[in-house]
Amino acid sequence: MAWLQRLNDPQRHPLAETLADTYAGLLERLGTVSPFELAVLGARAMPTPGLAFLVGYQAALRMLWPSAPASLGALCASERRSVRPADMQVRLDDLRLTGNKDFVTAGLDADWLLVAARSEAAGASPQLSLAVVYPGEPGVRLEALPALPLMPEVGHARLHLDQALCERLAGDGWDAYVKPFRSLEDLYVLSALTAWLYGVGQDNGWPQTLQLRLLGLLGGCAEGSRQCADSTDCHLLLGGLFAQFAALKEEVNQALCNSPGEWAALWQRDQGLLEIASAARAKRLAKAWAHAGLS
């Protein structure tokens, strides 16, 4: 586990003028790394949980699309707070995208965007494709959204598409991309935030037993990164990892309160990041539990 040795690097990564520049500098510092190493080593170096989340999100994108450019990217799926294909209105016709996506993480700083779009023939059941567009190209416009209480340093945007020329990725947009990304994001964001907490614990002399349990959780996350994201095994393991994390909550909060500086305030502000998709994650776990014959 090469990431385990490198995780002990205490140097925090400096913030640049933009998120894109900050991320580019982080990649230069880390060198060639796997998505899991990007999540844990990059998040360990970030000064806030919100920026750790962003690194985990980027790692998940690279598991989803291994050929992704090295620069900052985003997945654009939700419309009116839904990612169900039947609820989407963005259309792909003849490699042209039209419609709106209402929530794009770090959208104004992203260099490329993965867009889920309806592509079925008239009258057919909803079918998704995934396409790539680039901000600044004709027909691609991003609108800044107000900062959220969670991770305000990571902006969000609304995407407007008007006959924007795109590249279509191979495979079904739902089965190959949007559906597995929900688990990939859960896993890599959990990995990133656990690594961030471990770094805070190292820097502030947390009890060795707590640091070891955080390391053990990261080891479980490493195993999770080797599973197929849409498999029963992955959903069961992910459920166990989140249960382990939840069991550490009280001790982590107490350790943060005993640490100097603003660590506790930052975590209090951003810890809800792991709860955003908890309902959908619970449904996937219930299905996996039943499929494995454990109910």
Residue 251 to residue 220: CA distance in whole angstroms: 19
Residues 89 and 185 in one domain: no
Residues 141 and 88 in one domain: yes
Mean pLDDT in residue range 38-52: 97
65-111 pLDDT, tens digit per residue, is 999 999 999 999 999 989 999 999 999 999 999 999 999 999 999 99
Residues 43 and 113 in one domain: no
pLDDT value at 45 more than 90: yes
Residues 190 and 245 in one domain: yes
Average pLDDT, the chain: 95
pLDDT value at 9 more than 90: no
The number of folded domains in the chain is 2
Mean pLDDT in residue range 237-264: 96
Residues 144 and 7 in one domain: no
Mean pLDDT in residue range 199-212: 97
pLDDT for res 291: 87
Q: pTM for this one?
A: 0.96
134-143 pLDDT, tens digit per residue, is 999 999 999 9
Residues 143 and 219 in one domain: no
CATH for 154: 2.40.110.10
Mean pLDDT in residue range 103-125: 95
Residue 295 to residue 289: CA distance in whole angstroms: 6
Residue 76 to residue 157: CA distance in whole angstroms: 10
* End-of-domain residue from the set 168, 192, 209: 168
Instruction: State whether residue 142 is helix, strand or coil.
Output: strand
pLDDT for res 277: 81
Residues 147 and 182 in one domain: no
Residues 258 and 187 in one domain: yes
Residue with more model confidence, 123 or 98: 98
Q: Say which amino acid occupies 148.
A: L
pLDDT for res 278: 85
Residues 184 and 127 in one domain: no
Total residues found in the chain within this entry: 295
Instruction: State whether residue 148 is helix, strand or coil.
Output: coil
Mean pLDDT in residue range 177-190: 96
* End-of-domain residue from the set 152, 168, 184: 168
Residue 290 to residue 183: CA distance in whole angstroms: 18
Residue 284 to residue 294: CA distance in whole angstroms: 14
pLDDT band at 1 (very low <50, low <70, confident <90, very high): low
* End-of-domain residue from the set 168, 186, 218: 168
Residue with more model confidence, 165 or 230: 165
Q: Which domain holds residue 223?
A: 2-64+176-291
Quote the strand ranges of the chain, DSSP E: 73-76, 91-93, 96-105, 112-118, 128-133, 140-144, 156-165, 167-168
In the DSSP assignment, the letter for residue 188 is H
pLDDT value at 279 more than 90: no
Residues 181 and 39 in one domain: yes
The stretches of the chain forming alpha helices (DSSP H) are 2-6, 19-30, 35-44, 49-64, 179-203, 208-224, 232-247, 249-257, 263-270, 278-291
pLDDT for res 295: 67
Residues 91 and 157 in one domain: yes
Residues 161 and 219 in one domain: no
